[in-house]
Homo-oligomer: A and B are copies of this chain.
Amino acid sequence: PSSSKLLIKGGTVVNAHHQQIADVYIEDGLIVAVNPTITVGDEVRVIDATGKFVMPGGIDPHTHLEFEFMNTVTKDDFFSGQAAALAGGTTMHIDFAIPIDGSLTAGFEAYEKKAQKSCMDYGFHMAITKWDETVAREMELMVEKGINSFKFFMAYKGALMIGDELLLQGLKKCKSLGALAMVHAENGDAIDEGQKKMIELGITGPEGHALSRPPVLEGEATARAIRLADFVNTPLYVVHVMSIDAMEEIAKARTSGQRVIGEPIVSGLALDGSWLWHPDFVTAAKYLMSPPIRKQGHDKALQAALATGVLQLVGTDHCVFNSTQKSLGIDDFRKIPNGVNGIEERMHLVWDIMVESGQISVTDYVRLTSTECARIFNIYPRKGAILPGSDADIIILNPNSSFEVTAKSHHSRVDTNVFEGWRGKGKIEVTISRGRVVWENNELKVAPGTGRYIEMSPFSYLFDGLDKKDASYLNSLQAPVKRAKSTA
């Protein structure tokens, strides 16, 4: 049968807004029809999905492939990281392009090059690490190039961090462009203090990392970013929400009507930070990331908030370094490259933690692993849906089959796995990327250069009505007051 025609038969087709038993017919990388019964000719390959869930492929909103960071570079590049993703049911990701010497254009071009070996679809966020008129102008250019989100770092003092003055400029610029402002929310000044203190106390191991940047500093920066975004009246996206402290700030803001998106990541949902105290350095160091994975209790609270929509979608912050790289910090936790894996495990673990535990429905699962991401970054329903006309990025999950995570069997190039040994029910048996079956029978069929860059337009649904809201605000001011110039 033709490789460009495919029929998925008899599965439960799940969209975020509805699930039904139906067939899905695919041609040339696109979904052509979704109907209870579709009849096709012999030239069409038929995949039987009876008793299984047919769902939009995962979209990972937060990855770092071939990322040069802390004097080294992540193990996974756009090919190996994406291959791992596909093996785990993720069919698109959005990576953080980083400026070069402050130049967004140079950064964008460098990431274009890195992404040439892609085997699945991808998009870019762009980091903003300094501020001047050139950067402001380049942001416009980036939007033209299909980037609709910019990330600001409130941590990494001396490197990526910007202060409130620049953050405010950034928020305003984002608003005018219809681009989503994202923040890494930790108080960088205080972390700097905390790190010095730990070193002074002789705490140089990975546990010092967690101790130097406690949840209160994540809560602080989250609260600050939220309020500044409120002041500017523009939507905000908080990346890697790792703590109750940050989550509660988001909950509070949303309750008062503010448009704030909170992204927990799979390691924060599934793990606790006690590993950083492990007596084996390499074991401890593999769990080191920023903000740190927190104490027990934060994980369950983040799950709960995710279940009810207080948090909206799940990322990974996939940013992997192998044991040799992690060992750069053997004498000083500040030199351990920050990052954990997740791009391959996210879909399985979210299923296990959230669906198998009864916290969410299968439609919710689709929403928070795929659809909501597509809506936020304005590529829905091309992505994030199984609808006629959508890209044929599809997974088939067998709820009665099992999965297990091991570094030995995973597809990432990193030599460790923070979810090592995790077993659960719900196995993604097939992954289809733009109509091609790329993962089946535990085998990957991928080739570099087959992935496409997905342009993302500004002014997503998060911007709907903002102009009216601004107008309402102005109307409410009862100002300027008309005054006779009195002679005091």
Residues of A within 8 A of B (CB): 15-18, 163-165, 168, 172, 187, 189-190, 192-194, 198, 201-205, 207-208, 211, 214, 216-217, 219-220, 223-224, 227-228, 230-232, 247-248, 251, 254-259, 277-282, 284, 297, 301, 303-305, 307-310, 323-324, 326-327, 330, 355-364, 371, 380-381, 385, 461, 464-472, 474, 477-486, 488
Contact = CB atoms under 8 A, between A and B. Distances in A.
Contact of A465 (B16, B257, B361, B485): B361
B479 A254 contact: no
Contacts of A231: 190, 193-194, 214, 216-217
A214 B481 CA distance: 18
A469 B277 contact: no
The 7 closest A-B pairs by CB, nearest first: A257-B304, A358-B468, A358-B469, A358-B465, A361-B464, A17-B17, A164-B189
17 contacts: A18-B380, A165-B189, A172-B193, A203-B480, A207-B480, A216-B231, A247-B255, A279-B483, A279-B484, A281-B485, A282-B486, A284-B483, A309-B309, A357-B465, A358-B466, A358-B469, A363-B461
A281 B483 contact: yes
A479 B209 CA distance: 11
B223 A220 contact: yes
Contacts of A362: 464
A471 B16 CA distance: 25
Contact of A193 (B168, B187, B280, B478): B168
A246 B93 CA distance: 40
Given A280-B483, A297-B297, A255 B304 contact: yes
Contacts of A327: 488
A280 B485 CA distance: 8
B254 A310 contact: yes
A293 to B, nearest CB: 16
Contacts of A480: 201-205, 207-208
Nearest to A307: B257
A102 to B, nearest CB: 21
Contacts of A468: 356-358
Contacts of A208: 479-480
A223 B219 CA distance: 9
A59 to B, nearest CB: 16
Nearest to A305: B255
A117 to B, nearest CB: 28
B211 A479 contact: yes
Contacts of A470: 358
A201 B192 CA distance: 39
Contacts of A482: 279
A327 B483 CA distance: 13
Among A248, A282, A284, A480, max chain B CB count under 10 A is at A480
Given A164-B190, A211-B479, 12 more contacts: A18-B380, A18-B381, A168-B190, A187-B224, A207-B481, A256-B301, A256-B305, A278-B481, A330-B488, A355-B465, A358-B472, A362-B464
A198 B327 CA distance: 51
Contacts of A356: 468
B168 A189 contact: yes
B469 A359 contact: yes
A323 B487 CA distance: 10
Contacts of A193: 168, 172, 231-232
A69 B201 CA distance: 44
A165 B301 CA distance: 30
A108 to B, nearest CB: 28
Nearest to A276: B481
A267 B165 CA distance: 31
B248 A255 contact: yes
Contacts of A18: 380-381, 385
A297 B467 CA distance: 23
Contact of A478 (B202, B223, B277): B277
A247 B303 CA distance: 22
